[in-house]
A and B are shown apart, each in its own frame.
Chain A
Amino acid sequence: MAINWFKYSSPASFYSLAGKMIPIFVILAVVLLIAGLYVGFFVAPTDFQQGEAYRIIFIHVPAAWMSMFLYVVMACWAGIGLAFNTRLSSMVATAIAPTGAMFTFLALWTGALWGKPMWGTWWVWDARLTSELILLFLYIGFMSLQAAIDDPRRADKAGAIIALVGVINIPIIYFSVQWWNTLHQGASVSLNQAPAMATTMLTGMLIMVFASWMYSIAVILKRTRVIILERESHTAWVAELRKKEAI
């Protein structure tokens, strides 16, 4: 059975497809979230070193992973939009940015909450924390650039360029911060000595990672739908949709 995938690259058909897919991902996200939190808070054993406080990793680690992963995905879509002039991919990139920024913020915040009982301070200039902070700046830069441009096509392309420049720079920035951190090894805190993890902890974390995935997909699809409606508001099919929904 051959499915014409290109059909879904037109905003109109993507709009209806996304509408059907969103409930599936929402349900998956909720189920996985409940399962993950249950495993995380009730099944996983208390860590003998860190006590109960370690349980924040069930949110912290998935958030940190998603924040980095989503930036790369966003840059890929933006790049495709720039190279092949496909409007939909640029819209997806725009839709990913706020979710990515949200996860970055969440990772920083939960990291601070974790840091207080562990190291006795909310913030350390650890290489990972610093890189995550810079990642947040990159997200904010992308979003503010797009927000400042009125013409949506120019916003797409300009955003794509800055996202791609950012993606090239992320390894360089990460490496520089790492170097900088070892040069200033004043603070004795290091995140690198992760204790061996119990299997249930790992399971809980993985379930939470999948839950974040499902959540991200659902939200991104939803946001893309809104962007499509906004941009295509002058077209015939949106007018028809409006008429249908009015009834």
Chain B
Amino acid sequence: MFLWIIKRDLLLAVRRRSDVLTTLFFFVIVVSLFPLSVGPEMNMLRTMAPGVVWVAALLASMLSLGRMFSNDYLDGTLEQVLLSPQSLSLLVLGKALAHWLVTGVPLVLMAPILGIQYDLPAEALSVLTVSLLLGTPVLSLIGAIGAALTLGLRGGGVLVSLLVLPLYIPVLIFGSGAVEANMAGLGYDAHFSLLGAFLLVSLVFSPWATAASLRVSME
């Protein structure tokens, strides 16, 4: 059933490719706006790059959170998911994973190209990509809690950002920190280990909290 829900969400994403593409282009546009606002000076852009790419990834991932549950809520399929004999936490994990595959992975793949725009050295590019690879699933997992809590509320989209963005801060710090450390010639292993630790912790706790939130929101 875990696989079924992933399969379903991926199938839906394929049928609605525009949703995936809008998130990706949002990411690209936000990153491209920064040089226009602060000037094309390459040294400054290089130092800014990790932060800019990470903040844009955060925002892009957050923007698509609304879709994670609200479509299912509106057409009644969420009720059926809640009434599945399978454990709800596992199904929620499946949904978060599907969300990551649809929104997170394209961001990860796009990041090196955007990094080149900012003249990042090759090694920093790979560090940036790996940090996003480790960090974006955490964004989907934590975001799922916010999406579940704001289900069906007026102004849910803005509210979800208020709830979720403060919780994203550790991922942001260590994600962009890894790239900065690499560019400064320092080791970035610790950053990666911590991102990995966040991923494990959120894999354990977030589906559970999301399931509880869904039950509260659907009551």
Contacts and interface: CB of A to CB of B under 8 A. Distances in A.
Interface in A149-175: 149, 153-154, 157-158, 161-162, 164-166, 168-169, 172-173, 175
Nearest to A164: B209
A148 B150 contact: yes
A169 B173 contact: no
A141 B173 contact: no
A145 interface: yes
A69 interface: no
Given A148-B154, A154-B216, A176 B174 contact: yes
A138 interface: yes
Nearest to A181: B173
A175 B169 CA distance: 11
A141 B145 CA distance: 13
Given A148-B159, A165-B209, A168-B205, A177 B173 contact: yes
A161 B153 CA distance: 16
Contacts of B183: none
B219 A173 contact: no
A141 B167 CA distance: 11
B145 A161 contact: yes
B213 interface: yes
B177 A145 contact: no
B148 to A, nearest CB: 9
Contacts of A26: none
A144 interface: yes
A175 B174 CA distance: 11
Interface in B166-182: 166-167, 169-170, 173-174, 177, 180-181
Contact of B153 (A149, A153, A179): A149
A119 interface: no
A138 B212 CA distance: 20
B166 A173 contact: yes
Interface of A: 134, 137-138, 140-141, 144-145, 148-149, 153-154, 157-158, 161-162, 164-166, 168-169, 172-173, 175-177, 179-180, 183
* Ranked 7 nearest A-B pairs via Cβ: A176-B170, A157-B216, A137-B166, A180-B173, A141-B163, A176-B173, A141-B162
